[in-house]
Structure 1
């Protein structure tokens, strides 16, 4: 086992930026409103399991299905794009009937918001450079932070108020849209190369 503090810190920072849990607060709040309740623990654990499993067998799974990492990222960019449109335009694209608290904790919260194509693709690129145990520590650190944010999203909602959330939602919707476009353009170029 080779724990390297520098690798852990870098991996944690990269994943933190990609998972963007702070930017997801408006999505979490609106999911909580739709579903009534979201299991913070369940969502965090499922996201962590998805990330760790994908770290070990992600590329093999994609190869088995005949999909490469770039195609996977492009598909993920579409999901993020539609979530961003919901946030910016205040419309609902995802069907309401799937919004039971249990379902909302898994989809779209654990996947694709927390353990989404961005973070899964990032894990594969981190794996090429870093020791696997350092990446796992980085995942755990991020999941602990994610859990804290999920647990306190109700307090954050009261603190920000309806107007504050509406403004943050629109701003982060635009940011999410930009991330989706970046994910799409950088990976679509790879597909055609």
Structure 2
């Protein structure tokens, strides 16, 4: 009879020891899962943050090069004498033409480059040089379309849609973006820049009254400095890819 309590006590001790060990193992496993999930979540948040900054960067880049603020005086001159509905129609036509051209060059540009045997780095360098000269025109205020007396209805496609909005600078930019960042990024850049341009030019009368011609020209020159900085980045990136 003395043997049974001892055996029972040993059994209970072994039982609790096993359960405590199991509990410790489960706790460590849960902590491991929490730690791994936390690190994974942290990595995902960092990736999303970097990707979000990239989207903002490409939007600003294309928006600045399209220069809707600097094109406000030209848009006002081209649509002078038109009714509100006619002006809105021409503006919608302009952004549609610009969007189609940018999409075509973005997605067909790679095919053109491969047929011609041009590398991405050489195109990026050449595009940067082109943007640099374009920025000089912005700084001098010489990039604007000269409005003639014959200007009137039908100005949405030419010159507003192209070359003012979808000009050589914007076309070069989308071709570089799609080759360095991918299709989704360039689609986001094009559509966000087009929508922002449509919104800004839709408020052109109010903005022009506030800024005036001088204010618009000053803003355009500030955009020229930013475009010059973007051009230097393109040139530096292309040269690094070719020689380093």
Q: TM-score, normalised by structure 1?
A: 0.70
Q: Give the drift of 1:67.
A: 1.9
**Alignment pair present for 1:60 and 2:60:** no
| Equivalent-residue separation in structure 1 for 2:199 and 2:146 (angstroms) | 26
Query: Hey, what does 2:31 align to over in structure 1?
Result: none
CA deviation string 1:26-72 (max 9, x = no partner): 43135436x72494323322332234334443322211122222333
Q: In structure 2, the residue corresponding to 1:156 is in which secondary structure?
A: helix
Q: 1:116 aligns with which of 161, 166, 171?
A: 171
Q: CA deviation at 1:97?
A: 8.8
Distance 1:60 1:81, change over 3 A: same
Aligned with residue 45 of structure 1, among 60, 74, 96: 96
Q: Does the CA contact (< 8 Å) of 2:70 and 2:219 recur in 1?
A: no
Distance 1:108 1:184, change over 3 A: farther
CA offsets 1:118-157 (integer angstroms, 9 cap, x no match):
2321122222xxxx56764664344222221232234322
Where structure 2 has 5 or more consecutive residues not aligned to the other structure, the ranges are 1-47, 80-86
Q: How many matched pairs? A: 181
Most deviating of 101-110 and 134-143:
134-143
Which residue, 56, 60, 63 being the options, matches 1:13? Answer: 56
| CA distance in 2 between partners of 1:178 and 1:124 (Å) | 20
Aligned partners of 2:64, 2:121: CA distance in 1, in Å?
23
Distance 1:135 1:118 in 2: 9
Tell me the C-alpha RMSD between the 2 structures: 3.6
Find the counterpart in structure 2 of residue 24 from structure 1.
67
2:163 aligned partner? 107
Max Rg structure: 2
